[in-house]
Structure 1
Amino acid sequence: MNIPDSLPDGVPATIPDPIPHHIGGEPAASADGATFDVLAPATNEVYTRAAAGGKADVDAAVAAARRAFADGPWPRMRDRERARVLGRIADAVESVDEELAAMESFDTGLPITQAKGQARRAAENFRFFADLVVARSDDAYKVPGLQLNYVNRKPVGVAGLITPWNTPFMLESWKLAPALAAGCTVVLKPAEFTPLSASLWARVFAAAGLPDGVFNLVNGIGEVAGEALVTHPGVDLVSFTGETGTGRRIFANAADGLKGLSMELGGKSPALVFADADLDAALDSTLFGVFSLNGERCTASSRILVERSVYDAFVSRYAERAAAVKVGPPDDPATEVGALVHPEHFRRVMDYVDSGRSEAELVAGGGRPEHLPDGNYLSPTVFAGVPPTARIFQEEIFGPVVAITPFDTEDEAVGLANDVPYGLAGYVWTNDLRRAHRVADRIEAGMVWINSHNVRDLRSPFGGVKASGLGQEGGHRSLDFYTEQQAVHVALGEVPTARFGAGGYDDRDPFFSGARSLR
């Protein structure tokens, strides 16, 4: 399809056509010349194309990354030298804040007020890992007079990074910053729905002085470019953020190569609201938790479990507030919920809304706002009295749709919270401190917030359990993932050794004496 002569309103000024790959320090078209259309969520009009990567393009990107790792300076730099480059990357990211916000809002459908600040968050990720890689310490153990044991930490190699389409630039920085801080070289495969802002990385890295070949990017469809990256023998580890079904395929595809995997997958996170909670704060937080970012967030509090004595009042207030949320064009500063990312995803979310009508009581939303006849718009949608067997209770929707369910006892609340395949996040609202800690401990989730929405410290682990992921990133855990730890043991004195072929055993030899260490 050709790009229209008249682009939709609000289109950022600097849009490549087509959006190229970036391989070995240079922009690159696909080897076979293939491209795919990129749509504006507010109108579903094609506004540009992106190079559609295939196996040949992934081969070229991995080869460039492998050369940069084997022969280039990046893995051999001192931590402090790499940290200086990461600091310059952070500065360069902040310099494109306004341009990035326009790109993210236009390409993803996110409200512009929520797209702003993504560059600052991305820059903070680079500054954080620049500090962490310099401050990290490795283990050393000394057995006086006998042995010194220490740990070498080395970058693993070529990292394959596959990222999602919700707040894409910031989420790409979550992977790029620790991978580069550790000394790895990378091949990034951004989500095909939202390739626009990823095109900024090449400019950012060049401005910061990152050596050519350390960063490579291949656009494309997940089943083609993504699969080629995961199965490539030159890729040493894969970090993926996305939905659980795709994660299962990546897990299977990576098995033959025994690649290291870190996967942050889907979620169906509960918010447990007890009668003694600050209900005003709980209302504000749970509304924000599911309707911000258009509901397209993995940690969304998409199931709200409310103690029965306050349930009716809470549902009434929640529905009233949801109905008042402003749905509008992404570039309008007054918009609170914009357009869903793609017509394919919009149809999927609407299928859940239709299912919910037969499973529970619709108390707000449920359809397209009348004033927005085009694009992927859905009014904030609230279902009440949702049974735990309902699809909208059990399955991730990833849109502005929430299920509210009553409970009578603490045990019932915990049982409902855990009665889904997922275990990414959980939220507990109560002013009983003992109950707060007790319930948080019982929730099957990688992360729990008490009397708060998702406010995260970058030092803390991020990841889920059950169908929500494999491994955790954040802080030193990210550096652990992108590095190998090598134990080195140095003899400081005579080592008792059995003299095979020379007769007899030395009963001081720890191997034969049954000792497990020299301590």
Structure 2
Amino acid sequence: MDHQEGREDDMDGKLYINGEWQEADSGERIDVLNPATGERVGTAAFGGQVETKRAIDAADQAFPAWRKRTAEDRGKILMRWHDLLVENQEEIAEILTKEMGKPFAEAKGEILYSASFIKWFAEEARRIYGRIVPSAQENSRALVMKQPIGVVASITPWNFPAAMIARKVAPALASGCTFVGKPANLTPLTAIKMVEYAEEAGVPKGVLNLIVGKSSAIGSEMTSNTKVRKLTFTGSTEVGKTLMKQSAETMQNLSLELGGHAPIIICDDADVDLAVDGVIASKFRNAGQTCICGNRIYVQRGIADVFTEAFAEKVRALRVGNGMEEGVDIGPVIEKASYDKIAQHVEDAVTKGAEVVAGGKGTTEDEVYFFEPTVLSGVNEDMIIMKEETFGPVAPIQLFDTDEEAVRLANNSRFGLAAYFFTEHMARGMHIGEGLEFGIIGWNDGAPSMAQVPFGGMKESGMGREGGIEGIEAYLETKYMKMRI
């Protein structure tokens, strides 16, 4: 951890516990660096187990009063928060770009995407319905009701520092739960700024708390504390499994959105121009550092040359650089370990016979890491890039002959988060879509995510759904009550 003299333009991030901004008990702080320049963006207080326990206690104490607020009241506060985020979109997006690296236009889009979840769940709060079930006896009534689950703990990743916390905190607060969130240590400042606006919107003390700090200490407290009734996590499958094991002792309700290895199928009747644009939208958003970005591209043999040429031409035109510069399409890779993995995947593929059609190189000057948007042809199943998630701007192309082969190749993964396919034939598309073992599917669409639809995966890509009506159900308990009258 670097500790340097402060600068006037530094953002000074603190922990937010029980409605108060505070330093860690130890006084420790961490530097937040811009991955495009290596320069410091700001600093953040660095807490641990003690601060996490204090935040959980605050959330537990705030829960009874918050759950009693009407859904309309909670929704009004969330809508004020939504409006503040939209009004201050550029300010928050600049922080996001500087600490995470994605192009400023993408960052602005993420703030609006984040706000859309808050708006959606502010409205969904009014639609938490129970029901009366016809009873088998004349003198009894059967009621099924929905109630907030309680204190929610959240751990979110660095690649979408605004959207991931919004997608969790919005349904939690809308349903009447209270919340303790931990953003990634690489990108805490965006979440801190968002919570500042939540405070301004009128979220009561203790209802929303934010802890930055030592991941193992915070995670252990969240999973072992019996006041926490639900844990929601977005991140790697390996960490998700660890949290699942840790939370078994307290039988916490879990929502886990984990790793992906998304396939993209391009059929021979696809609109090639639409497919090219769709693959670029999926693959190269956030420099390929997204859990649902296309990682494996399967192109039917008859159109392989046409598609690859058109795709590579557009990829070569993408501009790499600092996300705050005008016209930049691809920002930096977040850190050295990520860069090394990308380079290894490309090297392994080339060694085993793949051809670099576009890009293929990176730069590592001054501990800043960029990788060119890259297209590989002649790829096969033996290459690491078709087995592991790259999390970078590399698009490997493998050929297929039949739809059955394409679906088999696509499903040949322990992950099942997102998949994409391009075809203009309705029956063909229905068969492919129904055959794919993935929670999210884009048909002729490289960007299927929306606040009003469920987001989540199958197999080792996690459990539970975020967004849509399913997203608020994840924060509710179902209670049945029988009355004799």
1:178 and 2:171 equivalent? yes
Q: What does residue range 44-123 of structure 1 map to in structure 2 within 5 Å?
A: 44-70=38-64, 73-123=65-115
1:407 alignment counterpart = 400
Shift of 1:400: 0.7
Q: CA contact under 8 A between 1:43 and 1:376: conserved in structure 2?
A: no
Select which of 155, 160, 164 maps to 1:162.
155
% same residue: 33
1:346 and 2:347 equivalent? no
1:255 alignment counterpart = 248
Shift of 1:47: 3.6
Distance 1:353 1:190 in 2: 31
Gaps of 5+ in 1: 8-12, 493-519
Select which of 360, 366, 377 maps to 1:384.
377
2:428 alignment counterpart = 435
2:131 alignment counterpart = 139
2:18 alignment counterpart = 24
Q: CA contact under 8 A between 1:242 and 1:264: conserved in structure 2?
A: yes
Q: CA contact under 8 A between 2:133 and 2:144: conserved in structure 1?
A: no
When structure 1 is superposed on structure 2, of 196-205 and 225-234 the one drifting more is 225-234
Distance 1:409 1:64 in 2: 58
1:419 alignment counterpart = 412
Q: What does residue range 228-247 of structure 1 map to in structure 2 within 5 Å?
A: 228-247=221-240
| SS of aligned partner of 2:25 | coil
Distance 1:28 1:230 in 2: 23
Distance 1:289 1:193 in 2: 24
Q: CA contact under 8 A between 1:44 and 1:342: conserved in structure 2?
A: no
Which string of whole-angstrom CA distances, capped at 9 and with x for unpartnered residues, describes residues 116-166 of structure 1? 133322222111111111023212112373432112221111100111111
Shift of 1:5: 6.7
Select which of 390, 394, 402 maps to 1:397.
390
Distance 2:7 2:200 in 1: 32
Select which of 282, 295, 300 maps to 1:289.
282
Shift of 1:6: 6.8
Shift of 1:14: 6.2
1:357 and 2:350 equivalent? yes
Distance 1:217 1:6 in 2: 24
Which one-letter code corresponds to 1:404 in the other structure? I
When structure 1 is superposed on structure 2, of 225-234 and 319-328 the one drifting more is 225-234
Which string of whole-angstrom CA distances, capped at 9 and with x for unpartnered residues, describes residues 7-53 of structure 1? 9xxxxx5611xx21111111121122222232110122334332222
1:444 and 2:440 equivalent? no
Distance 1:188 1:6 in 2: 27
Shift of 1:265: 0.7
1:190 and 2:183 equivalent? yes
| SS of aligned partner of 2:245 | helix
Q: What does residue range 202-351 of structure 1 map to in structure 2 within 5 Å?
A: 202-351=195-344
| SS of aligned partner of 1:68 | helix
Distance 1:369 1:323 in 2: 16
Shift of 1:196: 1.0
Shift of 1:369: 5.7
Which string of whole-angstrom CA distances, capped at 9 and with x for unpartnered residues, describes residues 196-232 of structure 1? 1111133212211111011111102323323332332
* Number of aligned residues: 482
| SS of aligned partner of 2:165 | helix
Shift of 1:484: 1.0
Distance 2:208 2:348 in 1: 44
Distance 1:118 1:362 in 2: 31
Distance 1:374 1:482 in 2: 41
When structure 1 is superposed on structure 2, of 372-381 and 203-212 the one drifting more is 372-381
Q: CA contact under 8 A between 1:141 and 1:149: conserved in structure 2?
A: yes
Q: CA contact under 8 A between 1:299 and 1:454: conserved in structure 2?
A: no
Q: Structure 1 length as normaliser, TM-score?
A: 0.89
Distance 1:347 1:390 in 2: 16
Gaps of 5+ in 2: none
1:458 and 2:451 equivalent? yes
Distance 2:301 2:104 in 1: 38
Distance 1:381 1:458 in 2: 31
| SS of aligned partner of 1:362 | strand
| SS of aligned partner of 2:472 | helix
Q: CA contact under 8 A between 1:3 and 1:48: conserved in structure 2?
A: no
Which one-letter code corresponds to 1:272 in the other structure? I
Q: CA contact under 8 A between 1:352 and 1:392: conserved in structure 2?
A: yes
Which one-letter code corresponds to 2:11 in the other structure? I
CA RMSD of aligned residues (A): 1.9
Distance 1:378 1:189 in 2: 29
Shift of 1:457: 3.9
1:126 and 2:122 equivalent? no
Which string of whole-angstrom CA distances, capped at 9 and with x for unpartnered residues, describes residues 242-289 of structure 1? 111111111111111110000111111111101111011001110121
Which string of whole-angstrom CA distances, capped at 9 and with x for unpartnered residues, describes residues 464-516 of structure 1? 00111112222222222111111111224xxxxxxxxxxxxxxxxxxxxxxxx
| SS of aligned partner of 1:275 | coil
Q: CA contact under 8 A between 1:263 and 1:469: conserved in structure 2?
A: yes
